[in-house]
């Protein structure tokens, strides 16, 4: 119930490492192909001088690596995350945490589309500038959490978080120029280098207050969470356009070419968004076999947008929207359950802290989700099976107005339905497996202004995905594992799925990637592990964007030494 706005396809739950009363030191050091160097350290210790239940935890990480099969691209990332807990195991608990992470990458926007598919070029082709492209980010996040147990069954919890994100980027996107025909030899095509340049700062101040209670009404048990939340978000990007940037060959790009061009500020924007929300969720235990969950959340989201450079403009938007969640769980056996769930969410026009004349007057897109699933454990938990069928529908998707391309209208319906299954188990004492499969039928169901797009697949949604991992423990403490991932073809656009030159669907082909692992404990405190990625060195497209595609890494290897004390 904490996510009413923007959770159309679900959310990713990030769990933060927090202090505990155990004393330990853990870490790893990694070295691999493509100049890969990685390290991580996790230290936790009680702090008796600060009182009962005081503990400190420190996490450090560093990662420098090139990208296998991709010339020039490089990632350099570092972080530190200290945290302090007071009063663990008592009725009143405090947690103070901080995260600082920075990155200084040589970014990779991959290769261009050529008509309806990826350009048939060498995987190593890099169309940017080795000394002219960069992506620098600096993240600082501070969090304070207070928890207090008023009674055995009542808890209050308040979390305050402030986050600041600085970003400075100049990234080259390779684009096929207009006028290229099917008959033109590839060797004659010169690529336009579209320079995407932005300097921005984003902030978020969030205060969330929760009250949690457990009580009975007769024989029926209740677990209630109610809360309020207030958020202030800001975004201040300055964007640039470039002229005079040199072109390069499609087949033989030159990343060592000196960067040149004339930059002009195209826009300078300041956006401030405010969210006020309240929510209530009750999980009702009707009996040992039946459980019912229901909740509602109300959001008020307002945004003020001002652009001072470029097309000077100012927009204000306020949206008030309820959302709800419900689920019914039936447990016919101790190790089996069946559930039916449903819920809604919404996407306001200023979801990404940006507004324009095209969407400032549009109410939010509305979404509805249904899911039916089951989970079973067999043979004392040695075998676990899960499965679900689901459907998410965007009831009023935004579309460009065909009579006025500068405006959007809520005139489309988009739907993703499918099923997923997973099996996890131990075949024997030495052999364990994990496999999962998902089918997604994502398509445009209705479009008021783009009837030709009805039935088209949703962008970047593969119909089939499959993965497996098989791990076998050998004698002598060795462990071997082999796994694979399959992703079927994906399209680049939902409303304009066909390439105008060929008339064919613009899509990237599906692919298989296989990975392997071998590890062995050296001592009670040391483990040695080696991983091999993309064993077959398969050339595949990992990321799809409307104007470019990013290939996945080629074959690479990594050796890791883990320690714990």
What proportion of the chain, given as a percentage, has pLDDT over 70? 97
In a domain, 456, yes or no: yes
pLDDT grade for 375, boundaries at 50, 70 and 90: very high
**Is residue 523 predicted with pLDDT exceeding 80?**
yes
Asked whether the predicted pLDDT for residue 1 surpasses 60, the reply is: no
Residue 43 within any structural domain of the chain: no
pLDDT of 87 over the 70 cut: yes
Examine residue 558 and state whether it is found in any structural domain, yes or no. no
CATH number (domain holding residue 186) = 2.40.170.20
512: tokens are: 């298989």
Q: Which residues have C-beta within 8 Å of that of residue 563, sequence separation ≥ 6?
A: 25, 26, 27, 28, 525, 526, 527
pLDDT surpassing 60 at residue 405: no
Asked if residue 477 is part of any domain, the answer here is no
- For 21-79, the pLDDT digits (tens) are 999 999 999 999 999 999 999 999 999 999 999 999 999 999 999 999 998 999 999 99
Provide the whole-model pTM: 0.90
d(Cα 490, Cα 541) in Å, to the nearest integer? Answer: 10
**Tens digits of per-residue pLDDT, 501-513?**
999 999 999 999 9
Average pLDDT over residues 493-507: 88
Residue 503 within a domain: no
Rounded CA-CA distance 553/547 in Å is 20
Q: Reduce the secondary structure of 66-83 to three states and give it as a string.
A: EECCEEEEEEEEEEEEEE
Residue 24 lies in a domain: no
Q: Tell me the average pLDDT across 183-212.
A: 96
* pLDDT above 90: percentage of residues in the chain: 80
pLDDT digits (tens, 9 = 90+) for 288-329: 999 999 999 999 999 999 999 878 889 999 999 999 999 999
- Cβ-based burial of 78 (10 A; exposed 0-12, middle 13-18, buried ≥19): middle
Flag whether pLDDT at 10 surpasses 90.
no
Looking at residues 98-120, what average pLDDT do you find?
96
Confidence at residue 406, expressed as pLDDT on a 0 to 100 scale: 56
Question: Residue 515 corresponds to which tokens in the numbers above?
Answer: 């990975």
Q: Mean pLDDT of all residues in the chain? A: 93
Q: In angstroms, how far is the first alpha carbon of the chain from the final one?
A: 39
Task: Determine, yes or no, domain membership for 295.
Answer: yes
Q: Which helix (H) or strand (E) holds 421?
A: strand 404-426
CA distance 550 to 454: 28
pLDDT for res 402: 62
Query: What's the domain count of the chain?
Result: 1
User: Is the pLDDT assigned to residue 407 strictly greater than 80?
Assistant: no
- Whether 183 and 243 have beta carbons less than 8 Å apart is answered as no
Helix (H) or strand (E) holding 420: strand 404-426
Task: Give pLDDT, residue 412.
Answer: 80
In a domain, 544, yes or no: no
Inform me whether the pLDDT recorded for 494 exceeds 60: yes
Domain that includes residue 443, residue range: 73-465+484-495
> Which of 457, 454, 424 has its CA nearest to residue 439?
457
**For residues 362 and 351, what is the distance between their CA atoms, to the nearest angstrom?**
12
Distance CA 76, CA 81 (A): 17
Question: Residue 561 and residue 541: Cα distance in Å, rounded?
Answer: 31
Nearest to 434 by CA among 470, 464, 386: 470
Structure-model confidence comparison of residues 274 and 494, the more confident one: 274
**Separation in Å, CA 77 to CA 98, 136, 542, 552, 557:** 17, 10, 21, 19, 19
| Residue with token string 């978080």 | 161
Region 419-448: what's the mean pLDDT?
A: 93
Q: Using CA atoms, how far apart are residues 318 and 42, in angstroms rounded to an integer? A: 44
Distance CA 433, CA 385 (A): 12
d(CA 355, CA 361): 9
Radius of gyration over alpha carbons of the chain, in Å? 26
Instruction: Give the pLDDT confidence of 336-361 residue by residue, as tens digits.
Output: 999 999 999 998 988 888 887 777 88
């Amino acid at each position: 119930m904490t996510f009413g706005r923007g959770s159309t396809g679900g959310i990713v739950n990030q769990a933060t490492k927090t202090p505990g009363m155990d004393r330990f030191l853990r870490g790893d050091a990694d070295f691999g192909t493509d100049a890969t160097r990685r390290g991580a350290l996790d230290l936790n210790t009680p702090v008796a001088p600060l009182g009962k239940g005081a503990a400190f935890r420190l996490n450090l990480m560093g990662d420098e690596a090139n990208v296998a099969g991709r010339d020039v691209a490089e990632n350099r990332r570092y972080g530190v995350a200290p945290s302090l807990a007071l009063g663990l195991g008592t009725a009143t608990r405090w947690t103070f945490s901080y995260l600082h992470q920075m990155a200084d990458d040589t970014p990779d926007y991959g290769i261009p589309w050529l008509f309806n598919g990826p350009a048939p070029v060498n995987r190593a082709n890099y169309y940017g500038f080795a000394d002219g492209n960069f992506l620098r980010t600096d993240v600082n996040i501070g969090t304070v959490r207070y928890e207090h147990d008023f009674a055995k069954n009542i808890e209050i919890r308040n979390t305050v978080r402030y986050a600041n994100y600085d970003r400075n980027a100049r990234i080259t996107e390779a684009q096929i120029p207009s006028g290229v025909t099917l008959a033109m030899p590839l060797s004659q095509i010169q690529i336009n280098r579209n320079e995407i340049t932005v300097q921005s700062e984003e902030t978020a101040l969030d205060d969330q207050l929760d009250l949690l209670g457990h009580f009975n009404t007769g024989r029926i048990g209740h677990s209630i969470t109610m809360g309020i939340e207030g958020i202030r978000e800001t975004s201040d990007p300055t964007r640039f356009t470039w002229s005079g940037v040199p072109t390069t060959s499609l087949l033989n790009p030159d990343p060592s070419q000196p960067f040149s061009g004339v930059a002009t500020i195209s826009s300078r924007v300041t956006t401030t968004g405010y969210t006020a929300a309240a929510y209530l969720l009750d999980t009702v235990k009707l009996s040992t076999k039946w459980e019912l969950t229901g909740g509602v959340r109300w959001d008020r989201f307002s945004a003020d947008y001002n652009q001072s450079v470029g097309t000077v403009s100012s927009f204000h938007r306020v949206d008030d929207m309820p959302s709800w969640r419900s689920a019914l769980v039936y447990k016919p056996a101790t190790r089996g359950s069946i559930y039916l769930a449903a819920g809604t969410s919404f996407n306001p026009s200023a979801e990404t802290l940006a507004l324009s004349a095209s969407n400032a007057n549009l109410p939010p897109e509305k979404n509805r989700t249904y899911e039916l699933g089951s989970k079973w454990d067999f043979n004392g938990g040695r075998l676990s099976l899960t499965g679900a069928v689901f459907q998410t529908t965007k009831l009023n998707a935004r579309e460009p107005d065909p009579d006025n391309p500068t405006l959007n209208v809520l005139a489309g319906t988009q739907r993703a339905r499918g099923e997923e299954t997973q099996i996890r188990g131990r075949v024997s004492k030495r052999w364990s497996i994990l496999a999962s499969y998902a089918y997604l039928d994502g398509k445009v169901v209705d479009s008021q202004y783009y009837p030709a797009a009805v039935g088209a697949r949703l962008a970047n949604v593969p119909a089939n995905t499959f993965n497996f991992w098989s791990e076998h423990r050998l004698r002598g403490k060795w462990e071997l594992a082999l796994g694979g991932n399959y992703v079927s073809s994906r399209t680049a656009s939902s409303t304009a799925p066909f390439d105008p030159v060929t008339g064919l669907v613009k899509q990237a082909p599906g692919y298989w990637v296989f990975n392997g692992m071998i590890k062995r404990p050296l001592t009670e405190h040391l483990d040695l592990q080696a991983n091999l990625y993309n064993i077959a060195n398969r050339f595949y497209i990992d990321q799809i964007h409307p104007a470019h595609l990013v290939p996945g890494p080629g074959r690479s290897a990594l050796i890791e030494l883990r320690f714990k004390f």
